[in-house]
C-alpha cells in the first residue's frame, strides 16, 4: 500500500496531467481551426469511463493504460475517405497544410507552455533551497581541484549569470558539460574575498558508467556553513526533553569528544541508537552534564538511526528563491528555453555517442523520480513535472514518423513541394518510426530493470 501511495499515485497523477495538457493542445487548436473532434482519450486500451458531450458530441474517454493519449478528428487516418460531403469542410485531412501543422504542433507546444507556467508559479511562491556553498571532493584530480575550488566557497554567479541555489549551480554546470566548455565561477571565499574558479569541462563526459553524480565527478560537493551546536527546538516527549535539554543549550561535548557544530551532534546521535551518551552543555554560562539515550527510528531507505528530538537553526544553509510576477515569468520562460536547449543537446550527444545510451530512462525510472520528488514536497514535485513536461514536448517534436514531429516534417515537405507525399512513402515512414519507437521503449525498459537489479 505504501508503494502505491508513494510512487504509483504520484506517477499516474503527474503523467496524467502532462498527457491531458498535450492532448488539450491538439483539441483546442483543432476546434479553433474548425475541425470536428470525434474522441478525446487519456490513456490507451479498454475505456474505464466514456461520455459524450459538447456541440459535436465528442466522446471523452479515460482508458486503462495511462501511458499516452490521443485526439481523434474527423477525416483523420483510415477514415479520411469516408467523410460526408456535408462535413468535408470540418475534416482534418481537408484543411490547408498550415492549419494541420498548427494542430499537430499544439500538443508539444502546450507541454512547453505548461513548464513555463509551473516554473512561474514556483518563482512567485518562492522555494527554500540549499545555498550554493561548495568544497572540492576528496578526489586527487578533478576539474574543481584544478580550478582552485576551496572549502566554503559560495558561488555567486557562473559566467555572469546569478546563482542563488545549489539547484541553479547544478543546471548551469550541466549545461557547460553538455557544451564541453569552461565554466567560470565567481565565488565569495570563506574569508569574505571575491575570487574566480575556472572549471575546464572540455574533456568531461556525462557518460554514467560509474553511476556517480556528474557534479560529484566534477569534483564538487555541497558544504553548507557550520551551524553552531546550539539547540533551537526540543521535541516534547523526546529523548532530549526527557534528559533535560532545553532550547538555547549549547552542546560542548559528547562522551568526552568536543563538538564543533550541529552536524557533529547529528552524526554521533545517528550512529548511537539505544546507547546512553554523556552530554556536556552550557546553559546561562554554567556547564551541565546530561545523559541522553537516542531512540531508534527507521529511515526511508530502511536503515536504522538514532534520534533525540532536537532542532538547530539551519537558516544560514538555505535561501528563499522568490521573484515578482513579471520577473518570475521572464525567468520561467528563459529557464524553460534553456532546459529545452539542454534536452536537444543531450539527444544530440546521445546520437553521436558522447553520452551513453544507459542514460535513456523509461516509465519505471520516471515513476521512481515522481515518487521521490513528491516525498520531498510540493515544490520538488512541481519542478519534476515541469522537467518531464519539457522532455515530453521536445521528444514529440523530433522528426520521427509516428511522433508529432514526424507529421510536422511531412507537412513541411508538403508545403515546399505543393502536394502531399505519396501514400506509400507515408506507410514506410510510419513502419520505420513505429519500429524505432518500440526499440527505444524496449531499451528504456531494459535500462530501468537493469538499474533496479544493480
Residues labelled as active-site residues: 23
432-436 long-range CB contacts below 8 Å, 24 or more apart?
A: 432/401, 433/400, 433/401, 433/402, 433/403, 433/406, 434/401, 434/402, 436/400
Strand 58-73 relative to strand 250-254, pairing = unpaired
Which uninterrupted H or E stretch holds 292? strand 286-292
Label residues 12-50 b or e (16+ Cβ within 10 Å = b). Answer: eebbebbbbbbbbbbbebbbebebbbbebbbbeeeeeee
Maximum separation of any 2 CA atoms in the chain, in Å: 95
For 411, phi then psi, to 5°, come to -65, -35
Side-chain-side CA neighbours of residue 139 (13 Å): 18
- The span from the CA of 184 to the CA of 198, in Å, is 4
**Sign for the pseudo-dihedral over CA of 329, 315, 226, 235:** negative
Q: What angle do CA 447, 389, 395 make, to 5 degrees?
A: 60
DSSP for 33-63 reads TTPPEEEEEEEEEEEEEEEEETTTTEEEEEE
CB of 339 closer than 8 Å to CB of 111 = no
SS3 312: strand
For 218, phi then psi, to 5°, come to -75, -10
DSSP for 127-150 reads EEEE--EEEE-S-SS-HHHHTT--
What is the separation of C-alpha 422 from the centre of its chain, rounded to a whole number of angstroms? 41
Amino acid at each position: 500500500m505504501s508503494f502505491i501511495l508513494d510512487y504509483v499515485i504520484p506517477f499516474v497523477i503527474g503523467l496524467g496531467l502532462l498527457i491531458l495538457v498535450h492532448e488539450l493542445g491538439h483539441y483546442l487548436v483543432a476546434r479553433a481551426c474548425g475541425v470536428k473532434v470525434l474522441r478525446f482519450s487519456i490513456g490507451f486500451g479498454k475505456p474505464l469511463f466514456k461520455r459524450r458531450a459538447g456541440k459535436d458530441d465528442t466522446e471523452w474517454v479515460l482508458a486503462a493504460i495511462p501511458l499516452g493519449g490521443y485526439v481523434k478528428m474527423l477525416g483523420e487516418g483510415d477514415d479520411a475517405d469516408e467523410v460526408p460531403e456535408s462535413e468535408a469542410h470540418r475534416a482534418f485531412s481537408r484543411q490547408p497544410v498550415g492549419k494541420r501543422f498548427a494542430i499537430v504542433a499544439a500538443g508539444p507546444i502546450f507541454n512547453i507552455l505548461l513548464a513555463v507556467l509551473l516554473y512561474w508559479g514556483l518563482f512567485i511562491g518562492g522555494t527554500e533551497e540549499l545555498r550554493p556553498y561548495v568544497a572540492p571532493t576528496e578526489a586527487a584530480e578533478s576539474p574543481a581541484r584544478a580550478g582552485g575550488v576551496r572549502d566554503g566557497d559560495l558561488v555567486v554567479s557562473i559566467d555572469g549569470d546569478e546563482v542563488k541555489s545549489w539547484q541553479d549551480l547544478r543546471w548551469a554546470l550541466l549545461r557547460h558539460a553538455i557544451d564541453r566548455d569552461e565554466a567560470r565561477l565567481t565565488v565569495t571565499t570563506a574569508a569574505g574575498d571575491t575570487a574566480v574558479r575556472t572549471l575546464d569541462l572540455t574533456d568531461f563526459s556525462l557518460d554514467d558508467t560509474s553511476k556517480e553524480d556528474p557534479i560529484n565527478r566534477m569534483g564538487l560537493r555541497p558544504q553548507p556553513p557550520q551551524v553552531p551546536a546550539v539547540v533551537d527546538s526540543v521535541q516534547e516527549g523526546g529523548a532530549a526533553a526527557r534528559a533535560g535539554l532545553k532550547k538555547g543549550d549549547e552542546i560542548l561535548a559528547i562522551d568526552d569528544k568536543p563538538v564543533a557544530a550541529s552536524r557533529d551532534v547529528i552524526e554521533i546521535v545517528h550512529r548511537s541508537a539505544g546507547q546512553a551518551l554523556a552530554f556536556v552543555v552550557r546553559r546561562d554560562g554554567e556547564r551541565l552534564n546530561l545523559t541522553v539515550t537516542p531512540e531508534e527510528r527507521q529511515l526511508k531507505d530502511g536503515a536504522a538511526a538514532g534520534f533525540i528530538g532536537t532542532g538547530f537553526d539551519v537558516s544560514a544553509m538555505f535561501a528563499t528563491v522568490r521573484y515578482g510576477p513579471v520577473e518570475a515569468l521572464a525567468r520561467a520562460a528563459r529557464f524553460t528555453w534553456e532546459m529545452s536547449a539542454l534536452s536537444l543537446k543531450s539527444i544530440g550527444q546521445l546520437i553521436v555517442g558522447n553520452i551513453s545510451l544507459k542514460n535513456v530512462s523509461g516509465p519505471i525510472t520516471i515513476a521512481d523520480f515522481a515518487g521521490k520528488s513528491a516525498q520531498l514536497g510540493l515544490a520538488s514535485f512541481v519542478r519534476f513535472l515541469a522537467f518531464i513536461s519539457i522532455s515530453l514536448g521536445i521528444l514529440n517534436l523530433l522528426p520521427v514518423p509516428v511522433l508529432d514531429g514526424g507529421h510536422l516534417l511531412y507537412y513541411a515537405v508538403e508545403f515546399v513541394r505543393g502536394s502531399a507525399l505519396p501514400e506509400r512513402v507515408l506507410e514506410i515512414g510510419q513502419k520505420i518510426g513505429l519500429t524505432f519507437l518500440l526499440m527505444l521503449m524496449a531499451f528504456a525498459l531494459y535500462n530501468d530493470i537493469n538499474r533496479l537489479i544493480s
